[in-house]
Structure 1
Amino acid sequence: MTTPLEGIRFSVLDRSRTREGEDGGRALRDTVRLAREAEALGYHRFWVSEHHSVPGVAGSAPTVLAAAVAGATTRIRVGTGGVMLPNHQPLVVAEQFGVLESLFPGRIDMGLGRSVGFTDGIRRALGRDKEDADRFAGQLDELLGWFTGEQTAHPQVHARPAEGLRVPPYVLATGEGAAIAAAAGLPLVIGDLKGRARLLEAIDGYRSAFRPSVWSSEPYVVVAGTVAVAGTEEEARRMLMPEAWSLAYSRTRGVFPPLAPPERITALEMTDKQRGFYESGLQGHVYGTEEQVAAELTRAVQETGAQEVLVTTSTYDRTALLDSYRRLARLAGLTPA
């Protein structure tokens, strides 16, 4: 008997979140270990992210970390979720992915986003400003041209070894980014599952405006969000607490901190403003027992028509996180490697 989730790809995005009392090296090594576990469980792809000057995130160089992940695995697709293109020169990004694809042929994905550093100081350090995000569509066109050999911005310059390779590009988007993905004829990665109405509107707009390209002949939608599966609903909700508190702290203190254990968060005296952000951070995610999560994911997939789910869960307890991925693999019917 088939289930509504059969045929849907499930993948993992890990942000290399740091935990209280641990350094960035531990977080990065844990990302590589999680990638091996995800491969063994049958997940389709494993992506890493780009953040700069964030105390709670160690993943600042996604193509470097992707190389480590690809070198530690053998089958799972590996990529970025994503490289923030406004922070970089398209030629350099093409060269980096050309090297990755040459070393690990047929396994590399190029997930691309349009965000810039989230503070003025970070943007200055990167040599960028807020308006650079508006250049994303043009940068994307140039980047793809380095692979096809059709870029015209820099005559007689070639991206080696990228030119002639086909590294699948994906656009990470909310709102305007979905329109850019449609115009470029690229797959769309969009979240979060908690903002369902806005999500559905963006996906509908993407599908209606999609123009086939050499990269993709038809729309392809990946929905991204937090999914937590445990033996009880309360245990699953407990997994959401560290990230919710980090979000609340960042919104009130301006710094995104390492993940704290749930028992410490429970004992905190929060301001009314922090409590509001914290409670909001716990809402709208997909969490619960295997039966509850299967039902909610089925509804999400049916509403969005997505071909793939990208799970972006972060929590303090690594054992609980791995158990959640194991339970999710089971309810999704993934085939272990």
Structure 2
Amino acid sequence: MLDRSRTREGHSPAEALRDTVEFARRAEALGYHRFWVSEHHGVPGVAGSAPTVLAAAVAAATSRIRVGTGGVMLPNHRPLVVAEQFGVLESLFPGRIDMGLGRSVGFTGPVRRALGHDKDDADRFEGQLAELLGYFTGANEVPGLPAEGLRVPAFVLATGAGAGIAARHGLPLVIGAVRGEEPMLRAVRDYRAEFRPSPLAAEPYVVVSLSVAVAATAEEAWRLLVPEAWAMAHSRTRGVFPPLRPAAEVLALPMTARERSLFEQSLRGHLFGTPAEIAESLDALVARTGADEVLVTTSTHDRAALLDSYRLLADAAGGR
């Protein structure tokens, strides 16, 4: 389960962060295997900007579920600092920490400037990844205390060249169908063909990421996706990613032709339906991709409906 600490209309970022911690407690009670948090900077609709800090809060509020990042955007940080942060997390919560790593940079030019980076910094990811892993093995000139000697599972979040980087470094791959399912399937095939075993992973390991909404009817499940779809359409027409609005308000909005097109486009590529329909869809997805795990994220305005969706999803995926 991945939670991005989405803000809701009429609610503060602080409430969104507290909701994330509560979601983690619920996820653990429902039997989810991992709970990950994300990194976004300068996005009004997303409160999750400090993933290792939030992961510490989540780990402290839970007792069994694995806690990690989906992910820390390595181009925004020095590898030594990231290693130290995960070393602290693993020291405090041994055997429960995952290190998900991405190569995205800031959402806008002003955000990138505030972070002291530009788009080209994403090209440095592979070198930064090697340096980061070296702090855990003691391969670098500077000791990465307290990370040195610790074993923290590392995952590469893939877009574009990310799958090849994961294969070359022998790391698990996290991938979604952002550009469509066929490009994702090609990337997964290439990853498996090019994978080089490492101390962190002896064999290829694929985690497929997608949005899933579950409700008593397919119509209700579809409506859960509406607030996030409108936020995406809004961001692409106005350059601002807003807090989530209730589905009924969104569906009543007068949209321009471009807004309607982007809104409908944002509703594609997600799984939604009843528990039985979702169980069948997940089985088909795993069969097509050979995925070892499925990483699920869902964002909607109605917090109670969101929690119910995760409960129904846990029931639908029971035994899978």
Does the TM-score normalized on the shorter chain lie above 0.5? yes
Aligned position for 1:63: 52
Decide whether the 8 Å contact of 1:76 with 1:107 is kept in 2. Answer: yes
Q: Tell me what 1:248 maps to.
A: 233
1:46-89 alpha-carbon deviations (Å, 9 max, x no partner): 00000000000000000000000000000000000000000000
Q: Distance in 2 between matches of 1:188 and 1:201?
A: 13
Q: Report the CA distance between 1:198 and its aligned residue.
A: 1.3
Asked whether the equivalents of residues 34 and 68 of structure 2 are also in contact (C-alpha less than 8 Å), the reply is yes
Q: Is the 8 A contact 2:175 2:208 kept in 1?
A: yes
Counterpart in the other structure of 2:87 = 98
CA deviations over 1:6-42 (Å, ceiling 9, x no partner): xxxxxx0000000001110000000000000000000
Q: Which runs of 5+ in 2 are unaligned?
A: none
Provide the C-alpha distance between the structure 2 equivalents of 1:26 and 1:294, rounded to a whole number of angstroms: 32
- Aligned residue in 2 for 1:4: none
Letter in 2 for 1:214: P
Of the structure 1 ranges 211-220 and 282-291, higher mean CA displacement relative to structure 2 is found in: 282-291
SS at match of 1:226: strand
User: How far does residue 174 in structure 1 lie from its aligned partner after superposition?
Assistant: 1.8
Cα distance in 1 for partners of 2:182, 2:238 equals 29
Using the TM superposition, give the Cα deviation of residue 334 of structure 1 relative to its aligned residue in structure 2, in angstroms: 5.4
Displaced runs of 4+ in structure 1, greater than 4 A? none
- Does the CA-based 8 Å contact 1:200-1:304 persist in structure 2? yes
**Aligned pairs for 1:104-119 within 5 A:** 104-119=93-108
The Cα shift of 1:168 comes to 0.4
The alignment yields a C-alpha RMSD, in angstroms, of 1.1
Residue from 269, 284, 293 that aligns with 1:284: 269
Q: Which amino acid aligns with 1:93?
A: V
**1:175 CA displacement:** 2.2
Q: Give the unaligned 5+ runs of structure 1.
A: 1-11
> Using the alignment, how far apart are the partners of 1:43 and 1:334 within structure 2?
12
Match of 2:302 in 1: 317
**1:306-332 per-position Cα deviation (integer Å, ceiling 9, x unaligned):** 010000111111111111111111111
Residues 1-337 of structure 1: pairs in structure 2 closer than 5 A: 12-151=1-140, 155=141, 157-192=142-177, 195-333=180-318
The normalised TM-score by structure 1 is 0.94
Normalising to structure 2: TM-score of the pair?
0.98
Answer whether contact 1:174 1:202 (CA < 8 A) is retained: no
Instruction: State the partner residue of 1:5.
Output: none
Matches of 2:179 and 2:123 in 1, distance apart?
26
Higher mean alpha-carbon deviation, 266-275 vs 91-100, is at 266-275
Q: Which amino acid aligns with 2:92?
A: L
**Matched position secondary structure for 2:261:** helix
Query: Does the 8 Å contact 2:177/2:183 carry over to 1?
Result: no
What percentage of aligned pairs have identical amino acids? 69
Contact kept, 8 Å, 1:194 with 1:283, in 2: the verdict is: no
Task: Give the conservation status (yes or no) of the 8 Å contact 1:194–1:225.
Answer: no
Alignment length, in residue pairs?
A: 320
What CA deviation, in whole Å up to 9, does each residue of 1:91-148 have, x standing for no partner? 0000000000000000000000000002111111000010000000000000000000
Higher relative CO (Cα under 8 Å, sequence separation at least 6) belongs to: 1
The one-letter code matched in structure 1 to 2:317 is A
